[in-house]
């Protein structure tokens, strides 16, 4: 059992780690742009906002499995293949990026408008308002958002397992479902549950530790 479980767990962690990283790299700037380009915000660009908003909505409405299949050519372009753990990171990152953008957007929007006004009153530039005021003030909420993203990606990665991504989801389906090894399925699900619990717990702890409210 363990010799099945450990490699699968490592694959899951590998997929989730890198797809979290890349989806943050893609989604974080989008989230910031959404917040600052909105009408009435600090860098008002209504057309850019509408385009970005539209793209994110379209990407988010795709069922993940379909998006993943559609992105096979991209995976081939970037990592040279469409199947396997590394290849799966590409669609996972792209699928999660618009989600990240929304999470970042809503965190940054929670920041009190008063401190943004303060930023203007002390002559802060737009980048200064973003990096010296908005992001530090939103930090606890951003950490909760990243936690949410990681947990979502664990779920997505389990699904990705079904079409050749590897990891714990793959293990549960191949051994548990197709070979009727219920014990393998149960154990993989338990490991996923523990993983999610652990990450949520850590995220909560971290957010409340740095929150000074």
- Provide the binding-site residues for other proteins, judged by CB under 8 A: 112, 114-115, 117-118, 120-125, 128, 132-133, 136-137, 139-140, 210-213
59's CB contacts (< 8 A; 6+ apart) are: 67, 94, 95, 97, 98
Q: Which is nearer to other proteins, 57 or 211 (CB)?
A: 211
- With 0-12 / 13-18 / 19 or more C-beta atoms within 10 angstroms meaning exposed / middle / buried, residue 175 is buried
CB of 168 to other proteins, least distance (A): 36
CB of 112 to other proteins, least distance (A): 7
Q: Which is nearer to other proteins, 3 or 112 (CB)?
A: 112
Q: Which is nearer to other proteins, 139 or 151 (CB)?
A: 139
How far is 168 from 13, CA to CA, in rounded Å? 9
Counting Cα atoms < 13 Å in the Cβ hemisphere of 30 gives 23
CB of 114 to other proteins, least distance (A): 4
Segment holding 85, helix H or strand E? helix 85-109
Measured in Å, how far apart are the chain's first and last C-alpha atoms?
A: 46
Q: Which is nearer to other proteins, 41 or 93 (CB)?
A: 41
Which tokens belong to 145? 């958002």
User: Could you tell me the sign of the dihedral formed by the alpha carbons of 20, 193, 12, 176, in that order?
Assistant: negative
Buried b (16+ CB within 10 A) or exposed e, 90-108: bbbbbbbbbbbbbbbbebb
The closest alpha carbon to 117, from 45, 42, 35, belongs to 42
Which tokens belong to 53? 């908003």
């Amino acid at each position: 059992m363990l010799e099945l479980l450990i490699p699968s767990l490592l694959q899951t962690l590998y997929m989730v780690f890198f797809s979290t990283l890349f989806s943050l790299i893609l989604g974080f700037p989008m989230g910031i742009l959404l917040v600052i380009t909105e009408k009435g915000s600090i860098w008002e660009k209504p057309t850019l906002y509408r385009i970005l908003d539209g793209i994110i909505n379209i990407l988010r409405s795709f069922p993940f499995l379909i998006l993943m299949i559609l992105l096979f050519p991209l995976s081939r372009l970037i990592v040279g293949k469409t199947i396997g753990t590394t290849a799966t990171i590409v669609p996972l990152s792209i699928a999660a990026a618009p989600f990240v953008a929304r999470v970042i957007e809503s965190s940054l929007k929670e920041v009190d408008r008063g401190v943004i006004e303060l930023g203007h009153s002390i002559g802060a530039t737009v980048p200064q308002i973003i990096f010296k005021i908005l992001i530090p003030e939103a930090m606890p909420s951003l950490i909760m958002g990243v936690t949410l993203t990681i947990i979502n990606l664990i779920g997505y990665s389990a699904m990705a397992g079904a079409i050749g991504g590897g990891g714990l989801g793959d293990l549960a389906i191949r051994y548990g479902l197709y070979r009727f090894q219920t014990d393998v399925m149960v154990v993989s699900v338990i490991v996923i549950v523990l993983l999610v619990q652990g990450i949520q717990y850590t995220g909560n702890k971290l957010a409340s530790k740095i929150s000074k409210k």
